[in-house]
Structure 1
């Protein structure tokens, strides 16, 4: 559950999967002050099929 920081009047919002700029990272990744959110491109892995026996 995400909550707002009422002492510093900061707002926390749930991710809405925004992709305003397809060539850039989402806003949450760009704006995260501690760089706790990252975006990585992952290549799909295909299992190798081997005949057993």
Structure 2
């Protein structure tokens, strides 16, 4: 298990900025789109409001 944690740390250090940029992009896309299933749309987190382009 120690070997896995060392490998995970190396991957995070090497690709951490890319992972963070992708997460930011996905959060922005999710904030500006609606759910594809009309009968289920979970509540949005409160911090997601600041990423919306158009407030409804």
Q: Is the pair's TM-score, using the shorter chain for normalization, greater than 0.5?
A: no
TM-score, normalised by the number of residues in structure 2 = 0.26
Structure 1 or 2: larger helix share? 2
Point out which structure has higher relative CO (alpha carbons under 8 A, 6+ apart).
Answer: 2
TM-score, normalised by the number of residues in structure 1 = 0.27
